[in-house]
Amino acid sequence: MDILGIVLAFAGAALAAGLAGIGSSIGVSIVGQVAAGLITEEPGKFGQTLILQALPGTQGIYGLLVAFLVIFKIGAIGTLKAVTPGQGMAILLACLPIALVGLFSAIAQGQAAAASIGLIARRPEELGKGIIYPAFVETYAVLALIASILLLQGVAL
Amino acid sequence: MYNDIRYAYATGRIRSLQKDLVDETTVRRMLETPDEEAAFAVMMETSYAAYATGAGVSDYERMLEAGLIEAYRLVRSISPDGTLTDILLRRYDLHNVRIIIKAEHIGADYKHLIVPMGRVDPDTIAAAWHLRREGWEEGSESSHILPPASQISLPRWLERLLYRAALMIDNSGDLYLVDLMLDKAWFRGLKAWSKENSHYLYAWLVVRIDAVNIMGMLRLRAGGWSRERWREIFIEGGRVSRSKLESLYDLTPEQAAAGLIDTVYRREIEGGLEDYRKCGELSYMEALFEARLLEVLRAERYITFGSQPLLAYLLRKEAEVRALRMVMIGKLNGLPHDIIHKRLRAFLYR
């Protein structure tokens, strides 16, 4: 069994879950800090801020999803399949869209959601609009997820 | 990068507090009341009501002061950088220095004029000042001036100012020069800090310096003061140069103002000039500059988190206190509605 192929596939899964997770944790943390400031003054807005704080968390889930797909593809739970270095590299590259876009889009979405907290601080009735702006950032994370899934499907083992 | 994550919590909190700032409608309602009692009743609907003691209208000044003190206390407690509030509060330390020096000079009691907002205990300032230069050592910028035996501890910048003030009074006895020196010290300190830490505050300060220089030049000119006196008050750091203002000094205030229309302050100069032609007063131009200063602060709206919302909150709070004080003083003195209205221009049309 060629160990290099397996290592590359594992690296892809780790990057997808790791980088997207880092991005989400930063994004959620940003929104959480701004929300905590608002809640100190207006505890009644907890529910509204919670929705906004959850938004940048999805990238981490997408990254984990792709990592699971890789794990099942190479049989990491159970019997490992034979993965050539070329196949391993292809799996690693397939993981990069969600790893990189997940990292940066989660931080950007966190900032957009934090700005929306500023919006609902002054105009709580505009929560809907406040969710739509950061939600648009999500589009690119979803596109990256689709790209990663399709690319993984293209790697035949 | 515009956003500074260290300020995330503070910004969230300030965004909520911004809602409690007195709005234009409330100021208009106060303005349209028939007397001070009714104006005070409207003021009691604002966040300042929390500081009322039940003394009625006479309580208003204390309430405004308490509101401002609370705003600074809160911002200082949530700001990751304490120097942000300290540098703004330095103005109140300098006010107290001024009061202590003048009170000693004329032998009057000063306690009731002290503003309890500075970062330095006024009693410590007074103790240092009463030592005068006795035993003070003139040293380099970094060495102590107050003798260690005095057991008085003051920030270095304040020690140096007191020392300079003492020298000035000993040499000339002119308190006006001390006043100028203290004013310039505030601008200098703020300029140095903002240049290093906040381009946002620096942009505001540049407009403030220009406003002081332009209004100072026009006012001194209208009062028939000499060019030398104007040179003394000029503050470096604005966009309108010393040479530009000096070249206009020999003209009438109207001609001098017209000569400033080609600067970035065209709107303020034109509006103020029009009013000056009608009433012979420069107060409207001053109000327009105040409006311009508030306009500069608006840039914070585009900042998700950073020191800008905190600075804007404090500077707006100060403008708010000035506006409410203006209405109450106007009402208490029976000033006509349109006179108060004109001076409130900045607040009503920002």
The 10s digit of each residue's pLDDT in B223-244 is 888 888 888 889 999 999 999 9
DSSP-assigned letter for residue A82: P
Q: Which two tokens stand for residue B101?
A: 């020096």
Rounded CA-CA distance B297/B274 in Å is 26
Of A30, A38, A111, Cβ closest to residue B15: A38
pLDDT 10s digits, A51-73: 999 999 999 999 999 999 999 99
Rounded CA-CA distance B154/B277 in Å is 49
Q: Is the pLDDT of residue A84 over 90?
A: yes
DSSP-assigned letter for residue A102: H
Spatial contact of A16 and A70, defined as CB atoms under 8 Å apart: yes
Residue of chain A whose alpha carbon sits nearest to that of B306: A34
Of B16, B18, B305, Cβ closest to residue A114: B305
Tell me the average pLDDT across B101-114.
85
- Mean pLDDT, chain B, as a whole number? 88
Architecture of domain A3-153: Up-down Bundle (1.20)
- What is the number of H-type helices and E-type strands within chain B? 17, 0
Rounded CA-CA distance A18/B321 in Å is 51
Cα separation values, B338 from B28, B57, B327, B334, B343, Å: 12, 22, 11, 12, 9
Q: Is the pLDDT of residue A113 over 90?
A: yes
DSSP-assigned letter for residue B166: H
DSSP-assigned letter for residue B138: -
CA dihedral A145, A148, A154, A157 (to 10 degrees): -110
Residue of chain B whose alpha carbon sits nearest to that of A113: B304
B265–chain A nearest CA distance, Å: 32
pLDDT classification of B346: cutoffs 50, 70, 90: low
ipTM of the complex: 0.80
Mutation choice for A interface testing from B3, B16, B47, B302 by most A CBs within 10 A = B16
Rounded CA-CA distance B136/B150 in Å is 10
CA dihedral B208, B214, B220, B225 (to 10 degrees): 120
> A with B: how many residue pairs have Cβ under 8 Å apart?
62
Rounded CA-CA distance B225/B217 in Å is 9
Confidence at residue B140, expressed as pLDDT on a 0 to 100 scale:
53
Cα separation values, A154 from A14, A151, A157, B181, B278, Å: 20, 5, 10, 76, 81
User: How many CB atoms are closer than 10 A to CB B304?
Assistant: 24
Q: Is the pLDDT of residue B133 over 70?
A: no
Interface contact B9-A114, CB threshold 8 A: no
**Chain A interface residues (partner B, CB cutoff 8 A):** 30, 33-42, 111, 114-115, 117-118, 121-122
Mutation choice for A interface testing from B23, B79, B304 by most A CBs within 10 A = B304
Q: Is the pLDDT of residue B144 over 70?
A: no
Tell me the average pLDDT across A102-116.
96
User: How many CB atoms are closer than 10 A to CB B141?
Assistant: 7
Confidence at residue B249, expressed as pLDDT on a 0 to 100 scale:
85
Residue of chain B whose alpha carbon sits nearest to that of A30: B8
Confidence at residue B153, expressed as pLDDT on a 0 to 100 scale:
83
Q: Is the pLDDT of residue B1 over 50?
A: no
For residue B9, give the amino acid letter: Y
Interface contact A33-B5, CB threshold 8 A: yes
In this complex, is the C-beta atom of B21 within 8 Å of any C-beta atom belonging to chain A? no
- Mean pLDDT, chain A, as a whole number? 95
Which residues from chain B sit within 8 angstroms of residue A38, using beta carbons? Answer: 12-13, 15-16
Interface contact A118-B10, CB threshold 8 A: no
In this complex, is the C-beta atom of B12 within 8 Å of any C-beta atom belonging to chain A? yes
In this complex, is the C-beta atom of B241 within 8 Å of any C-beta atom belonging to chain A? no
Q: Is the pLDDT of residue A94 over 90?
A: yes
* Sequence-distant (≥ 6) Cβ neighbours of residue B203 within 8 angstroms: B296, B299
Interface contact B8-A30, CB threshold 8 A: yes
Q: Is the pLDDT of residue B347 over 80?
A: no
In this complex, is the C-beta atom of B9 within 8 Å of any C-beta atom belonging to chain A? yes
pLDDT 10s digits, B5-46: 899 999 999 999 998 899 888 999 999 999 999 999 999 999
Confidence at residue A56, expressed as pLDDT on a 0 to 100 scale:
97
Q: Is the pLDDT of residue B109 over 60?
A: yes
Tally the residues of chain B: 350
The three-point CA angle B221-B223-B226 to 5° equals: 55
Tell me the average pLDDT across B290-314.
91
Domain residue limits, chain A: 3-153
In this complex, is the C-beta atom of B304 within 8 Å of any C-beta atom belonging to chain A? yes
Interface contact B16-A114, CB threshold 8 A: no
